[in-house]
Chain A
Amino acid sequence: MRAKKLSDLLKAGDRVAVSNITGREASEVTVRSQKYCGNIIGGWALGKGGQFLEVPGQEPIHIYSDVAELVKNLPKKRQPNKVIIYSPPAAVYGEVKEIIEHCGKTVETLFVITEHVSIEVTAKIAQICSQANIDVIGCNSLGMINTHDAVRAGAVGGRELSETFIPGSAAIISNSGNMVNTMASYLLSAGLGTSYGISTGKDTLILTSVRDLLELARKDEPTKIIVLYVEPGGFYEKDTVDMLSETAFPKPVIVYITGQILEDTELSLGHAGAVVDGEITSASGKMKLFDDYFGVKPFDFSRKYRKAPGLVASLKKGIRIQTLHHLPAAASLICDMIGIERDFRPSKPLRLNPWFLDYKELGKHLPSKLLLHKGIVPKPYASQVNLFAKEMVGANPPKRNMRNASHASSNDGVTTRIYGNSIEEEMKNGSFVESLFLSWTGEKPKQIEVDLLEKCLVASLTNGAGTISAQGAKLSASAGNAPNTAMIATLACIGDIHGGNGRKAVEYLMRIFSNVNIDDPWNPKHGIDLQKIVNAEADRFKKIRNAAKEAGTEYERIPCLGHPVFRDKPVNYDPREKVITDYLEQKHMVNLFLQFYHMLAFRLKEIGIAKNVWAVNLDGAIASVVLSVCWKALKEKRLTFKRVADIAFMVFALGRVAGAGGEFLDHQDFGMPMDMRIPVNEITILGGQSHINTDNAGK
């Protein structure tokens, strides 16, 4: 091998290039590696030359057409000495030849991440790289990490590297990429961090074997103990144990060998190279090799080990573990017996720690020893759980192809149904609003909710002929269009500014209440300290408003508070919203969200944000009613959050488009063709446009 110690394979200051850098996995891993250690000097991808790979908060990574272009364009000091290969299997051999041709003198190590490289190609890579004095990790490796230097090549460590890879004494060498990460995390509980994590890959030919890596670990200073994960197949472990025995290897090795259970079957294990070819390549054969070398039986969790010269001598060589979760205990035993200092204080021993559980009825029938108690979600996950729990109010339904499928309606040739409810029964026993909400939510609202929704729809019919949406219908009638076109014109005139506030209000209310445990928003005894929530929200708003005003920038308003007409009294109401509030009072009910809005309006006046108490407008009332109607289904994750926000908008849109029908009919009967046209002389000609011949304008 070219490398003489483990750090020669990867260290701080290495200049790493990436092949096929724009691939799905390559680009994602490269960006994360760059953020972690910044060792990527560039990459290449066929047909992508001249592009850049964006790295948030850092310089983008330059992408070249091929390795030759990369070498040509980078200064001497930035020439790559490590290359990570992510190319498709059929391209790997060509890539390696190109690398040797164009930068064979600077490149020291190749990390071949690609899976499914043929064995023939792997053998050829082994030969040409050996001749070029380049070490190859792989193929089908996940890469490696040098924890002390905080650098990695490939995906070892995943996204949150520092969560698992804390600098320490253990080098992990594994046939499985996943096991590098997994074993590193288990070792933490023994108070051991890692020096290196290396995924060798487990193809038939492993181009840098465990024997080679142990040779490099021999004199590596940070490495005090080595952990191996081994699968059946290949003579690598035979060579390793021969080397360990012949050279009096100075560091203890913990080995975990898997695959014994499937020895008498014809089943193939997970990795391509895990193929038994003779006794010595089997899991049992490898276990015996290591056990004989260690001179001590495999680690027994229940045994009390007493310090004795024979045992210490054996443990200096190492021990085999029979199950993965004994790793920390075996590592602790070795540390204690032969005097390896822990890297940090050991944490709680590994144990069954369920984060979430619900045995439901089954819990009554299972033996008590199998009934676990909910455990503690550890750091850093606990805060994420809270965060995501907030985000995940509302259903997260499965997606599928809906081209020829519907939950909302069906027709079996005899009966038309809405969410399984016969439309004839609806006609006989229901109401339009009840059926409408069945169609929109899949659930029927209660009678009081139907009443309130109907009031919302009635209120939405019109706010006078001058509104933008009514004007849409009138313009269309004036142009001689049919009623459907006029109604579409009204819908086309409804948007985020006119009519869309209901949706914004639902989003706003959800932001405030998604983490509040509300059982029934209609219940006057809801038990929620609403004033506290109102005060916090008013303070938040005051803060951002003042900061924005100071900076002279825009800020996000509270949706649905304030009205252009009802604004001058000390306490203002939108009369349509008042109808809803009064009706609730009459029924001895509240709407918690509407209540919040009113209290907020008062509070904003109290803290000096508003001169008087703003009105809660109709959109706010609609949003509050819709959110309350849907709250239970939302909380029980039967409805998506987006659906509820859209329904608030649709209530207004449906009311208004119906009202637009009235404007259309009126205008059609009594209006004149083109009467909505604005005469030329009423148009203000703005600066710079005066040369336009107004005689022809407007035709």
Chain B
Amino acid sequence: MAAQITELTFLEHLAGRFGIPVPEHLTDEATGAEIRAAMGRWGGKAMVKPDIMSGRRGKHGMVRLAKDYADAQRQMKHVQGTEIDGRLPRTAYIVQYIPSDMEIYTAIKYDSRYLGPSITLSLAGGMNIEGIEDKQKITSPVDIYKGFGAYQAGELLSKLDCPKKIINLLSRHLVDFWDMFISTGMRMCEINPWRITPQGKPYACDFKAVFDESNFKFKNIGFDLPEYPANVTAFEEEMAAWNASSYRGQAHVADLGGTSILPILFGGGASTIIIETLIQNGVKPLFLSDFGGNPPYERMFGTAKICFEHNLTKTKVILILGGKANNTLIDVTFKAIADALQSYVDTNGPINTPVIVGRGGPQLVKGLLTMKDTLELLGLPYVIFGPDTPVTQVAEYAAKFTLACAEEENS
């Protein structure tokens, strides 16, 4: 899961820092008196929203308009306790209702067409940008060195026939928007919508952003990203921490919720292809993995150990598979995996999980023979392929093999 934030974090940490006008808000820590006072200030209307990591606008109807203090209290409890896409919100919060005749969409991201950042504007805010016709939106590249200036913003808004009375103020806030984007190491951020009051004052009324975790500015952002409940499994969490502990070799996993194949896969491309092939052939693996990048022994041993500790009791088959590596040393990585498997058995007792292996690359034969020796020693059934058998064929075979194992188990 990429590092990303939603509106509440924006309201609490970023909007004020960058001078972006936002509605007032209260969190669930606010007292009844504070909510009552705020509702009074806000004209008796407020929006109650869940803080949840969901890409969908409207959060499945869980963004509620509260018409008075009691309603706000009730809605808070309801929103806080209602699952969206199978997940509970981290919390709920109340936002000042901003009356508006006009909503504007804005987004900044790195754009493959310009090999740099671009800004997209539309006067048809409040909708998913995908649903807006091309003629109603405008995308313009931003010079990575010069940045986004108020004149450029004003020009773009003019092209969209934005009412003149709001161009000046909004343009300046779009510059603030850019400053936030470039100063915090974001890869994408969106304010959708800006609600424009009848007096022409813009308010940023919803927000999402994804950070570039490789950008040092993000590493020094100055606040902790909130943790969302049930976003990651204990396995994913441990592997993510292990991955972050070193830059040598990847240790990426994403839980898929499957039950039958424990996949130890190598290479960003090959791992995707293999998972896709397994699923197409009717088998959902436990997780998606990419352990390439020529990891040294200790790194690969640790990675495999975490995989086995969390998943070996759940799986029917272990699949160790990758394409023909350019750089990754097969003897080193396979020795580490074999040792991790042996270590698991030493600690937890014997297993009888069959192992299917396919790989190519430097020091291949030594690596395959090392793996074979350990599998022999542990008495596990195995089939080992070299690089002359395509990964997709091995994955197809592994899927059929797994289904047969499951059938045998059931019978």
Could you tell me which A residues sit within 8 Å of B by CB distance? Answer: 24-25, 29, 88-90, 115-124, 126-127, 142, 155-160, 164, 174-182, 185-186, 202, 204-207, 209, 229, 231, 233-236, 239, 258-262, 266-275, 277-279, 323-325, 350-363, 365-367, 370, 372, 377-378, 381, 384-385, 387-389, 392, 395-400, 637
Contacts and interface: CB of A to CB of B under 8 A. Distances in A.
B193 interface: no
A324 B273 contact: yes
12 contacts: A25-B294, A120-B144, A127-B143, A159-B362, A260-B276, A269-B272, A350-B389, A354-B389, A356-B383, A362-B405, A366-B405, A377-B386
Nearest to B54: A266
B100 to A, nearest CB: 27
B30 interface: no
Contacts of A156: 326
Interface stretch (B64-72, B108-116, B148-156): B108-116
A400 B374 CA distance: 15
Contacts of B404: 366-367, 370
Interface in B176-220: 182, 185, 187-188, 212, 214-217
A25 B248 CA distance: 10
Contact of B393 (A118, A126, A209, A350): A350
Q: Give the size category of B's interface with A.
A: 35 or more
Given A179-B269, A181-B323, A637 B377 contact: yes
B187 A204 contact: yes
Nearest to A182: B323
A599 to B, nearest CB: 32
A258 B388 contact: no
A361 B381 contact: yes
B269 A229 contact: yes
A363 B192 CA distance: 59
Given A239-B113, A325-B390, A356-B382, 16 more contacts: A119-B215, A126-B116, A127-B115, A175-B269, A185-B388, A262-B288, A268-B254, A270-B290, A271-B268, A277-B109, A350-B390, A354-B389, A358-B376, A358-B381, A392-B370, A396-B373
A360 B272 contact: no
Contacts of A126: 115-116
Contacts of A353: 385-386, 388-389
Contacts of B373: 392, 395-396, 637
A351 B276 contact: no
Given A116-B214, A206-B112, A178 B393 contact: no
A378 B386 contact: yes
A79 to B, nearest CB: 27
Contacts of A262: 272, 275-276, 288
B365 A381 contact: yes
Contacts of B112: 204-206, 209, 233-236, 273
Interface string B340-376: 1011000000001010000011111110111011111
Nearest to B338: A398
A258 B272 contact: yes
Given A89-B214, A90-B216, A396-B370, A352 B256 contact: no
B126 interface: no
A259 B272 contact: yes
Nearest to A256: B273
A501 B110 CA distance: 70
Contact of A356 (B270, B292, B368): B368
A120 B115 contact: no
Interface in B114-166: 115-117, 130, 143-145
Contacts of B380: 360
Given A178-B266, A259-B276, A324-B392, A357 B382 contact: yes
Nearest to A360: B381
If over half of B's interface residues share one DSSP class (helix, strand or loop), that class is named, otherwise mixed; here it is mixed
A185 B387 contact: yes
B187 A158 contact: no
Nearest to A366: B404
A399 B392 contact: no
Nearest to B269: A176
B379 to A, nearest CB: 7
Contacts of A268: 1-2, 254
Interface in B319-346: 322-327, 335, 338-340, 342-343
Interface string B221-260: 0000000000000000000000000011000101010000
B277 interface: yes
A235 B267 CA distance: 23
Contacts of B98: none
A158 B327 contact: yes
B280 interface: yes
A352 B397 contact: yes
A115 B109 contact: no
Contact of B145 (A124, A186, A209, A278): A124
B75 interface: no
Contact of B392 (A323, A359, A389): A323
A363 B381 contact: yes
Given A353-B389, A366-B404, A261 B280 contact: yes
Contact of A235 (B113, B143, B254): B113
B383 A176 contact: no
Contacts of A355: 368, 384-386
Contacts of A395: 373, 377
B116 A123 contact: yes
A51 B81 CA distance: 65
B1 A266 contact: yes
Contacts of B383: 354, 356-357, 359, 372
A366 B407 CA distance: 9
A595 to B, nearest CB: 30
Contact of A182 (B2, B292, B340, B391): B391
Nearest to B266: A178
